Amino acid sequence: MKIALVGNPNVGKSTVFNALTGSNQQVGNWAGKTVERKSGIIRRDNREIELIDLPGTYSLTAYTQEEIVTREYILREKPDVVMALVDASNIERNLYLVLQILELAPRVVIGLNMMDLARSGGITIDTAELAKALNVTAVEIVAAKGIGIEDFLTEAIKIGSLPNDPLTSEVPYPDELEQKIRAMEDLLKKTSWASRYPLRWLALKRLERDPEVGQEWKAVAPSKPLLPTSRESCCDSGDALKYELREASELPGEDLLLAYEKEGWTKDHFEMAFADAKYSYISRILPKFMTQEALKRPSRTDSLDRWILSPVWGYPIMILILALVFWASFIASAPLGDAVSQGMAWVADLLVNALQLIHAPDFLTSLIRDGIFAGVGAVLAFVPQIAIFFAFFSFLQDSGYLARAAFLGDRMMQLMGLHGKSFFSLVSSFGCNVPGIMATRTLEDPKDRLVTILLNPLIPCVPRLGVMSAVVAAFFPGTRGAIAMLSLMFISMLLVMFSALLMRKVVNQKERSAFVMELPLYHLPTLRNVLWPTWHKTYTFLKRAWTFILAASIVVWVLSSFPQGVPMESTWAGKMGGLLSFIGRPLGFDWRIMVAVVFGFTAKETTLSTLGILYGVAADASQSIAQAMTGAMSPLRAYTFLVVYMLYIPCLASVVTTHKESASLRWTGFGVAYNLVLSFVVGWIVFHAGLALGFQ
């Protein structure tokens, strides 16, 4: 059985999906789209069910990729049943999508989520009357508390198992519209299209001159199973079902459409008339199942928004919240990071002692201590920082605050020529640039997306901030360190603003898209909704640390250890650094820094592990690595290194993600080149300005 989960954004689809599928999920992209594909396997009563979480959308027109993906899946994959999740506290607007779904799929179950918030807002919904009005099954849910989710699934399985499609109520359109719809139906019912799609829906879309209607598609099976039952993995779009466009046969009705146009019934006229009819129908049936009492006092959301969205208090509150997030991520987590480093050092000593007892070769002991544990151990010290940051981010997103922050950030974004939703992406990048780049999917305009994608690498991620804080603490102790860190962040923000204005001209972005975003009701996230995405992101980082970064650490150790018996400058790594020294010399960099910069391209985390190996620091706290650098470079050179490190080429994973999201090798190459040139130019300016001011 195939079940599709559909709903507006922010109605709790992810909560329901995660509760039903658990860890048995697959995440990737829909074929040919930059929209996330989430699917999972559920087993009930020895039956395997495929649950597809379709993108959140407000309608099923063909204007955004989310709308197209959701509609195409229902039309072409024909799921056995559609689970339509509705926000009970905002049911009038949510039912518009439900009516569109009912025109596509006869087997639908409505899940009324957030019933607790609806009741607190004075809203009473008679579920039985709602089911009767639309002739569908409806279930009450409070997904955040796990209430009603299993009942929702049970009803969906029951409806999906029926031998015949149930009869659903149709939206009654005005007489003039009904005549035109029936005339188009008469022309279409004789074609093969009528056997593939619901006839009434096909007539509506033909009258709207929908660009997707009239194309013939041939399904192409994927080379691998759609839903492996293994643990969650990230797949490319090649794993998803694809369609190839064939030569389309001409649809009838063109003469009829031309006649309607002469009467003033254009494409836009039909679209507006159908939408008005649906909302009029909702308004008529709403009193049958919903009543709303006047509240004696403002709701909790209204009371909070009076302060949080205030043009006076909103920004100080946002700065305070972000400051708390960064303080907890980088200051409060420091003891945990030190504990991880000391634990790794203890394990390294234990292994080294064991190897010495069995008289293992010296190179093997050095590989374990100076390669693997010095490299990976330095990186694992960042795990507490990453976990705490993503926990805060998940909490703010699920509580409803992050949407408000984007609303407030819209004013700043507009000054830079960016869309307000770019704020989501840029804030996400403080955790990791990869999800930050993927967060640009919320931007509808392709040029807005491209500009935001190209700006993302200028935001320092958690690994970069961790390395920066360690180096700053060694070279600029006390208050000077706070000033140095703030100045680096100021440089980053200044360059983001400058680059935003430049990128708009480069991509020829002349018009600014309107910022429209639904502000969800505030609610306290459940522990599961915070910990699950935090664990997923942290697990992904750990997986990289034990595979990719482990391999990189071993490579750096080999390059810095061979030929054996020679000074470090004469090893392969030293020779590589010597070849690159002409680039680093104008900025005051030694060969070690240049090698670390090169390996930092693979993953920013490897910069610290590389420095730990090249400066001869065995598995120890990251602070000692930075301290080892103090004997090799001056504070001015260290600050210049931090500027270059903060701005230069994003990590390999970010480059790959940029290519996937932009679907352009040319723009990906431009972004890499821009970051590289900008970092060294700004670094050169900082270094020589410092020399001119008498700093060393």
How much is the pLDDT for 62?
67
DSSP per position, 512-580: PPP-----PPP-PPPHHHHHHHHHHHHHHHHHHIIIIIHHHHHHHHHHHH-STTS-GGGSHHHHHHHHH
CA atoms within 13 A on the CB side of 281: 20
Rounded to the nearest angstrom, the gap between the alpha carbon of residue 160 and the centroid of all alpha carbons in its chain is 32
DSSP 78-95: --SEEEEEEEGGGHHHHH
The reply to whether 6 and 113 lie within a common domain is yes
Are the C-beta atoms of residues 241 and 77 closer than 8 Å to each other?
Answer: yes
Q: Which residues contact 91 (CB under 8 A, 6 or more apart)?
A: 112, 118, 123, 125, 286, 290
Q: Are 126 and 289 in contact (CB under 8 A)?
A: yes
Find out whether 51 and 5 touch, Cβ atoms under 8 Å: yes
Q: What is the mean pLDDT of each run of 10 residues along the chain (696 residues)?
A: 90 87 66 68 88 88 77 88 92 91 92 88 90 92 89 93 82 89 86 79 87 57 39 37 45 80 87 91 92 75 86 87 76 76 80 85 78 69 77 83 80 74 77 77 78 89 76 78 82 89 80 65 79 77 67 77 77 83 85 80 69 60 57 83 87 80 88 92 93 84
Is residue 421 included in any domain, yes or no? no
Do 87 and 7 share a structural domain?
yes
Given this model, what pLDDT does residue 127 score? 93
Co-location of 114 and 8 in the same domain: yes
DSSP 228-264: -SSS-EE--GGGS-EEEEEPPPPPS-HHHHHHHHHTT
Domain boundary among 234, 266, 298: 266
| Number of domains within the chain | 2
Query: Which residues, 6+ apart, have CB-to-CB distance to 189 below 8 Å?
Result: 199
Q: Please state whether the peptide bond connecting residue 172 to the residue before it is cis, i.e. omega within 30 degrees of 0.
A: no
Q: What are phi and psi of 21, to 5 degrees?
A: -95, -25
| 315 located within any domain | no
Q: List the structure tokens of 401.
A: 């605050």
206 and 107 fall within a common domain? no
Torsion sign (Cα): 257, 262, 268, 270: negative
Residues 92 and 180 in one domain: no
Contacts of residues 192-199 at CB distance under 8 Å and 24 or more positions apart, as own/partner, are 193/251, 197/75, 198/103, 198/104
Question: Are residues 22 and 114 both part of a single domain?
Answer: yes
By the 8 A CB rule, do 643 and 468 touch? no
Measured in degrees and rounded to the nearest 5, phi and psi for residue 368 equal -65, -50
Q: Would you call 395 helix, strand, or coil by DSSP? A: helix
Same domain, 118 and 207: no
What pLDDT, on a 0 to 100 scale, did the predictor assign at position 562?
Answer: 80
In terms of phi and psi (left: phi > 0; alpha: psi -120 to 50; beta: otherwise), the region of 45 is left
Looking at the structure, do residues 149 and 225 belong to the same domain, yes or no? no
Residue 24 shares a structural domain with residue 124: yes
Q: Residue 246 has which token pair?
A: 């064939």
Antiparallel, parallel or unpaired: β 25-29 and 233-234 = parallel
Question: pLDDT value at position 605?
Answer: 65
As a whole number of angstroms, the distance between CA 70 and CA 155 comes to 22
Q: Is 29 a member of any domain? A: yes
Helix ranges, 22-148 (H)? 65-72, 91-104, 115-120, 127-134
Decide: helix, strand or coil at residue 119.
Answer: helix
Indicate whether 45 and 179 sit together in one domain.
no
Asked if residue 134 is part of any domain, the answer here is yes
Q: At what angle do helices 175-188 and 267-289 cross, to 10 degrees?
A: 120
In a domain, 591, yes or no: no
3-state secondary structure of 635: helix
22: containing domain: 2-160
Do residues 119 and 192 share a domain?
A: no
Tell me how far CA of residue 305 lies from CA of 91, 114, 299, 300, 319, in angstroms.
21, 19, 10, 9, 16
Q: How many CB atoms lie within 10 A of CB 575?
A: 14
Q: Are 328 and 395 in contact (CB under 8 A)?
A: no
Which of 266, 282, 303 terminates a domain? The answer is 266
CATH of residue 54's domain is: 3.40.50.300
Instruction: Based on the fold, state whether residues 44 and 186 are members of the same structural domain.
Output: no
Is residue 37 assigned to a domain?
yes
CB 176 within 8 A of CB 269: no
Question: Is the pTM here over 0.75, yes or no?
Answer: no
Among 137, 160, 183, the domain-final residue is 160
- Whole-number Å distance between alpha carbons of 684 and 55: 46
The verdict on residue 258 lying in a domain is yes
* Domain contains 615: no
